[in-house]
Chain A
Amino acid sequence: MRRIDTRARALLRHASIVAALVVSACSIQAPQPEPVVHEPIVIIETPPPVIEPEVSISIPAPPQLPAVAIVLTNGRPAYADVARELTHHFENYEIYDLSDDSRPPVTVLRLINDSESGAVVAIGLRAARSSVAMSNKPVVFSQVFNYQDHNLLTDNSRGVAAIPPLDAQLAAWKQANPTISRIGAIIGDGHDDLIAEAELAAARHGVELRVKVTRSDQETLYFFKRMIREIDGFWLFPDNRILSRRALQQIMDDAKHENVSVLVPNKSMLQIGGSVSVSSVASDIAETITKLIRQIQAGNIDQIPPISPLSEIRVRTKDTIQVVDR
């Protein structure tokens, strides 16, 4: 995304103020579900203990947020949506798109370092790697799954979880497919915490979880085929290291053949055979980032956990999408 000019920023600022006032007024009168997205979402659930996950938690307007530099890996919706949501929280911000070949990442980071920005928000792996490596300002990254492979967690950087909380995911999956009892999952190296979280969530929901750590798509396929006859649900994590297009298609085909439900991290995967998709909500990510920026602004970065969890989840099923698509 290109840098937004002054007029546009003023317009956005006024719009943010008006929106904040409206939200405040609405929250005083009666809490209403927020229309998070305009897409045909069928089920929107928040993880417990949030009763109404679709309702954005209204936060009293903080005093003044610092100017931030928002660095995008590219302008694709998964990143641009988060950036757009961030503009609702910050008055002073600069947006940089690393896919813009006219300015290489080094140039961009130099500009940021020379600017008055108080923090850097990096969205996507490439943006995170560049920002963490070259920025002299605090960095908050998001939409990065394999952050541990790239040493993104430093003293001056913190991250936002790439996927919604696993417990919430499993809850949503169980709601969509109540009969699931044996779940398999394959994931790459370095996600021990995630595996532990998954096992806890499984235990909480009373399902049997089999997790296999692999190092390639070949291995993923190999083990998937070994376990598919023993499971009735497969939890697909967005670990790009162990998945290829070929492997994804094979997993989906085999799962369909064996009548195994597949929980996918992306709504588009419903088209290739996924049963239920669970994904994060851009506004939730932006909210979480904003909280982190405030804590960093307050000088409490050391007290911030390396990865902050998300609080909202968006669930889609294949059938509902199909119905809406009509």
Chain B
Amino acid sequence: MKTAVRSAMIQLAALFARDSAKRGNRLLVHEIVSIQVFSAALIGALAIAGLYWGGQWVLQDNYSRWALQWTEQLNELGAPLYLADDGEALIRLESYVERYPEIDRVAYYSSDGTAIISVGNQNSAEPIANLSQAALEDAIAVVGEKEPYLMSTGILEPQRFEILAPLWKESISDDGLFDFDPSATATATTTELLGFVSINLDFVLFHDRLLANIKSAVLVLLVLLMAFALYGRHVLSKALKAISDLQQPIRELAKGNLSVKFEPAEHREIAEIVEALETTASALSERDAKLLQLANHDSLTGLFNRRRFLEVLRHEITNVLRSRRDSALLFVDLDQFKYINDACGHPAGDRLIRKVADELLRSVRRDDTVARFGGDEFVILLPHTDLAGARSTAETILANMRRMAHIEDERVFHVHCSIGVTMLSGNNLHQDDLINQADIACREAKSGGRNRLHLFEQSPNAEQQAAADIGWVNRLRNALDYDGFELRFQPINDIGTGETVHHEVLIRLRGDDGKLILPDVFLPSAVRFGLMSEIDFWMIRHVAKAYAEESKCNTRLKLAINLSANAFEDNNLTSYIEETFAEYGVRPDRIVIEITESLAVRRPTHVDQQITALRELGCEFALDDFGTGYSSFSYLQKLHFDYIKIDGAFVQDLPDNPVDQKMIRMIAEIGREAGMKTVAEYVRNAESFSLLGELGVELAQGFFIGRPVKRPRGKSTPISLTSRRNKLSASQTNSKA
């Protein structure tokens, strides 16, 4: 059954395919001409039919009038047959009938229908029959009527007529002529039937002539139709040729050749099509140009973007190879841009970037290429430039940047930059290497104190180092794709009770040698290559997964996650956390999200919305590394955090630094007043631990409390402040002794 259906479907498809092929071969000219010829033929046929019927009608009308006239004449001529025959009546009748060949026969009857005499043009030996009673009655009924005769004709022979008319005499009653009134319609009259006259008429001559004329008309019409068809085909072919001519340019247009030219058309309709196609081509060209602009240029500054710059660089490398003349590549990184961006917001940062771009363009030659490479990074290609020229240009840029002042919110910012310079020469002609060299030189300049230039110098192991640096991207990519990261859990204890309150989850990367790599090593590369957000999301999912596993045996488990600003740039962060937590059964109130001070202070609107949403979900927030950046206590009052994590810089020398002690005390007091718990990081010894407790810090984290481990502690090993103090006192006594 299925086979039969399939076979039928195949046949049907083949049929459709054949039909489609046929449709494709149809010619518009033939169809239009066919329609016109058919229409003309139809109209012509209707006209001929109308002519025939109209002619018939006219002839019939004429026949009728002639018939009436002849009837009256014959009526009069036949009078002597009934009345006083003057002896010439028959002769007159015959001569009258002879004059009209259409009159076949005239017969006279007495009042009772008996035939009296017959006169005709056709010699017929048949005697005329008497009138039937019905004919008699019908004829008598029309006596005195306006049309006193009966006329009949055959449907098949409309040219033949038979007329039967009564003959009567009439007189005015009494002496009516004494007072004859011509206007009176009713005059008393006396009528007496005399007999009947029958006339057979045959208008075959007229009919045949009409048919002959119609045949001629049909012939003429056919000739005209043929001529019309030929002429129409010629005219239409000529008119449609302009459309056919469009085929090639349209194909070119479809191939992407937007400079294609369309021949102007004579006909308005086709000219409009040509105009539309030209408009389309023009619009496509403009769109292409716009897309090219978008593809090659940075939308903020209008400079070449990274992609386009790399093309230019490749081209320049070719030129260098060909011309044997050196060129230079400058990598420019703004100093303190992050500060302005954070302090005044992204719009201010954008304005600064545009201003710097303008300044860079003013600082270089016309043939030099300036491109925006990243956020606050620019690259400049100086063709046909030796090292001295490159240095000179870099110094010019540095000098111009030093002079440039950027005013934002009535505050004046001086933005400096660091410039790395590398030369396109000799065997140093790989674009990735060149970019990397300039970048490395730029970092060297920054390391050297910023606001300076640094010439890249090829060291023996520099190549390996660069290769290693570039290799981070692949390693991070692989780690994300194949879960190459590992989690470590570092406890955070209550200083008063020594109990572990929660764990901070830390990320590690397993190196090729099997050793764990700390985040300080790979996170800068992650930030640079735009992988930070993906790492954050990886963390969220795996922390949730770990929580799901560990919370089975530790119901009080509470974990803290570090999320970068990149994570909050993603609008899906909140929904992702909510869905992931729901997936693994994570209680949001058992999760603390740590964000940096800079992100907390800046808090763009969309970040603020996400923090609010996550707080509503139940998550707690900790302000990480407090004290290193803005350290603005006023923010602590505005921002609602559950924890303040004091930066390790204040803790590591705490016992010997009274300033740090006062600072921590102050932070702890403010945190307490604001309802936030303070956490001290980098607690490495008992002394610091004890001192923190005295300074009012509530929680501590560090190697003294516990090193990062694979799994969170199921049970805490309390380190009471008292025992630590005792321990501390004993150690101090021993040392004094």
Residue in A closest to B75 when the chains form the complex, CB atoms: A218
A-side contacts of B168, CB under 8 Å: 218
Q: A222-B80, A238-B175, A245-B187 are in contact. Are A217 and B181 (CB under 8 A)?
A: no
Complex Cα gap A145–B175 (Å): 7
CB contact list, A124-172 vs B, under 8 A: 124-126, 143-146, 162
Asked if B323 CB lies within 8 Å of chain A CBs, one says: no
Contacts of B194 in A (CB 8 A): 216, 218
B172 and A162 form a contact (CB under 8 A): no
Residues of B within 8 A of A144 (CB): 175
Select the stretch in A23-31, A197-205, A267-275 that faces chain B: A267-275
Identify which of residues 181-201 in chain B touch chain A, using a CB-to-CB cut-off of 8 Å: 181-183, 187, 189, 192, 194
- Of A215, A265, A271, the contact of B83 (CB 8 Å cutoff): A215
Q: For residue A238, which residue of chain B has the nearest CB?
A: B177
Q: What is the CA–CA distance of A144 and B175 in the complex, to the nearest angstrom?
A: 7
Q: A240 to B82, alpha carbons, bound, how many Å?
A: 20
Please name all residues of chain B whose beta carbon is closer than 8 Å to the beta carbon of A239 when the two chains form the complex.
Answer: 177
How many angstroms between the C-alpha atoms of A144 and B75 in the bound complex? 32
B171 and A241: CB pair below 8 A? yes
Q: Is A216 in contact with B169, judged by CB distance below 8 angstroms? A: yes
Q: How far is the CA of A126 from the CA of B169 in the complex (A)?
A: 23
Nearest B residue (CB) for A129: B174
Interface-lining segment among A12-20, A39-47, A70-78: A70-78
Contact B76 A238 (CB under 8 A): no
Identify B174's interface contact among A126, A217, A266, CB under 8 A: A126
Q: Which chain B residues border A146 with CB–CB below 8 Å? A: 175
**What's the nearest-Cβ distance from chain A to residue B40, in Å?**
51
Interface residues of A in 231-261 (CB under 8 A from B): 238-248
A290 at the interface (CB under 8 A from B): no
How far apart are the CA atoms of A202 and B261 in the complex, in Å? 110
Question: By the criterion CB–CB under 8 Å, are A268 and B84 in contact?
Answer: no
By beta carbon, the residue of chain A nearest B175 is: A125
Residue with the greatest number of chain B CB neighbours at <10 A, chosen from A226, A238, A272: A238
Residues of chain A within 8 A (CB-CB) of B179 are 76-78, 266, 268
A316 to chain B, nearest CB (A): 14
Supposing A218-B194, A219-B84, A221-B79 touch, asked if A243 and B172 sit within 8 A by C-beta, the answer is yes
Contact status A217-B175, CB under 8 Å: no
Give Cα distance in the complex from A77 to B169, angstroms: 28
A92: chain B residues within 8 A (beta carbon):
none
- Is A113 part of the binding interface, using a Cβ–Cβ cutoff of 8 Å? no
On chain A, the residues within 8 Å of B77 by CB distance are: 222
* Contact between B172 and A245, CB atoms less than 8 A apart: yes
Q: Give the shortest distance, in Å, between A311 (CB) and chain B (any CB).
A: 19
Q: How far apart are the CA atoms of A136 and B76 in the complex, in Å?
A: 47
A73, A217, A240, A247: residue with the most chain B Cβ atoms closer than 10 Å: A240
Interface residue? B180 (CB, 8 A):
yes
Number of residues of chain B lying within 8 A (CB) of chain A:
30
A269 lies within 8 A of B167 (CB): no
B76 adjacent to A268 (CB under 8 Å): no
- Closest residue of chain A to B170 (Cβ to Cβ) is A244
Decide yes or no: A243 and B178 within 8 Å by CB, A216-B83, A219-B84 being known contacts: no
* Contact status B178-A238, CB under 8 Å: yes
A128: nearest chain-B partner, CB-CB: B175
**Which residues of chain B come closer than 8 Å to A269, judged between CB atoms?**
180, 182
Q: Indicate if the CB atoms of B178 and A162 lie closer than 8 Å.
A: yes
Q: Which residues of chain B from 558 to 601 have any CB-CB distance to chain A below 8 Å in the complex?
A: none
Q: Chain A residues with Cβ under 8 A from B530's Cβ?
A: none
Known: A218-B167, A222-B80, A247-B170. A271 touches B182 (CB 8 A): yes
Once the chains bind, are B177 and A266 in contact (CB under 8 Å)?
Answer: yes
- A214 CB within 8 Å of chain B: yes
Q: Residue B176 at the A interface, CB < 8 A? A: yes
In contact, A125 and B174 (Cβ under 8 angstroms):
yes
At the interface, yes or no: A103 with Cβ under 8 Å from chain B?
no
Q: How far is the CA of A17 from the CA of B189 in the complex (A)?
A: 44
Chain B 144-188 near chain A by CB (<8 Å), digits 1 or 0: 000000000000000000000001111111111111111100010
Contacting residues of chain B (76-120) with chain A, CB-CB under 8 angstroms? 76-77, 79-80, 82-84, 86
B76 and A240 contacting across the interface, CB-CB below 8 Å: no
**A73 to B174 Cα, complex, angstroms:** 10
B26 to A: closest C-beta gap in Å: 72
Q: How far is the CA of A269 from the CA of B172 in the complex (A)?
A: 14
Residues of chain B contacted by A243 (CB below 8 angstroms)? 171-172, 177
Query: Across the interface, which residues of A come within 8 angstroms of B183, CB to CB?
Result: 271
- Measured CB to CB, the nearest residue on chain A to B80 is A222
Task: Say whether, besides A78-B179, A162-B175, A269-B180, A245 and B189 are in contact (CB < 8 Å).
Answer: yes
Interface centre among B75, B86, B178, B181 (most CB of A within 10 A): B178
A265 near B177 with CB under 8 A, answer: yes
A90-131 toward B: CB 8 Å interface, digit per residue (1/0)? 000000000000000000000000000000000011100000
Which residues does chain A contribute within 8 Å of B76, judged by CB atoms?
A: 218, 221-222, 225
Report if A246-B182 is in contact (Cβ < 8 Å); known contacts: A125-B175, A240-B176, A265-B177.
no
Known: A218-B79, A222-B79. A78 touches B171 (CB 8 A): no
Tell me if B176 and A217 are in contact (CB < 8 A).
no
Q: Which residues of A contact B170 (CB under 8 A)?
A: 216-217, 244-247
Chain A: which residue is nearest B177 at the CB level?
A: A238
Distance to closest chain A CB from B83 (angstroms): 5
Q: A230–B62 Cα gap in the complex (Å)?
A: 32
Inside 8 A of A225's CB, which chain B residues have their CB? 76
Given the known inter-chain contacts A244-B189, A269-B180, A271-B182, please indicate yes or no for A218 contacting B169, CB distance below 8 A: yes
Closest to B173 in A: A240
Complex CA gap A76/B175 in Å reads 12
Docked Cα-Cα span, A145 to B168, in Å, equals 24
Q: How far, in angstroms, from A266 to B169 measured CA to CA in the complex?
A: 23
Cβ of B702 to closest chain A Cβ, rounded Å: 146
Interface string of B656-675 (1 = CB under 8 A from A): 00000000000000000000
Instruction: Specify the chain A residue showing the minimal Cβ separation from B82.
Output: A218
B84 contacts A124, C-beta separation under 8 Å: no
Beyond A219-B84, A244-B171, A244-B172, whether A143 also contacts B178 by CB under 8 A is yes
**B181 (CB) vs chain A CBs: closest residue:** A268
Q: What's the least CB distance linking A280 to chain B, in Å?
A: 9
Task: Establish whether residues A272 and B182, one from each chain, have CB atoms under 8 Å apart when the complex forms.
Answer: yes
User: Chain A residues near B79 (CB, 8 Å)?
Assistant: 216, 218-219, 221-222
Q: Taking each of A144, A247, A268, A271, which has the highest tally of chain B beta carbons within 10 Å of its own beta carbon? A: A268
Bound: A78/B170 CA distance, A: 23
Chain A nearest Cβ from B503, distance in angstroms:
138
Of A76, A244, A248, the most chain B CB neighbours within 10 A belong to A244
CB distance from B539 to the nearest CB of A (A): 127
Interfacial chain B residues near A216, Cβ < 8 Å: 79, 83, 169-171, 192, 194
A248 to B180, CA, bound (A): 11
Which residue on chain B has the smallest CB distance to residue A243? B172
Say yes or no: B83 contacts A218, CB within 8 Å. yes
Q: CB-defined interface of A158-190 with B at 8 Å, one 1/0 digit per residue?
A: 000010000000000000000000000000000
Q: Which residues of A contact B187 (CB under 8 A)?
A: 245
> What per-residue 1/0 map shows which CB atoms of A47-81 lie under 8 Å from chain B?
00000000000000000000000000100111100
**In whole angstroms, what is the CA distance A241 to B170 when docked?**
8
| Those 9 A-B pairs whose CB atoms lie nearest each other, nearest first | A216-B169, A238-B177, A244-B170, A240-B172, A78-B178, A218-B79, A78-B179, A222-B79, A272-B182
Beyond known contacts A216-B79, A219-B83, A243-B171: 12 more, CB 8 A cutoff = A126-B174, A218-B75, A218-B168, A221-B76, A240-B172, A240-B174, A240-B175, A240-B176, A243-B177, A266-B177, A268-B179, A268-B180
Residues of B within 8 A of A (CB): 75-77, 79-80, 82-84, 86, 167-183, 187, 189, 192, 194
29 contacts between A and B (CB under 8 A): A76-B179, A124-B178, A125-B175, A143-B175, A143-B178, A144-B175, A146-B175, A162-B175, A162-B178, A214-B84, A215-B83, A217-B171, A218-B76, A218-B79, A218-B169, A222-B80, A223-B86, A240-B171, A240-B172, A240-B175, A243-B171, A244-B171, A245-B170, A265-B177, A266-B180, A268-B181, A269-B180, A269-B182, A271-B183
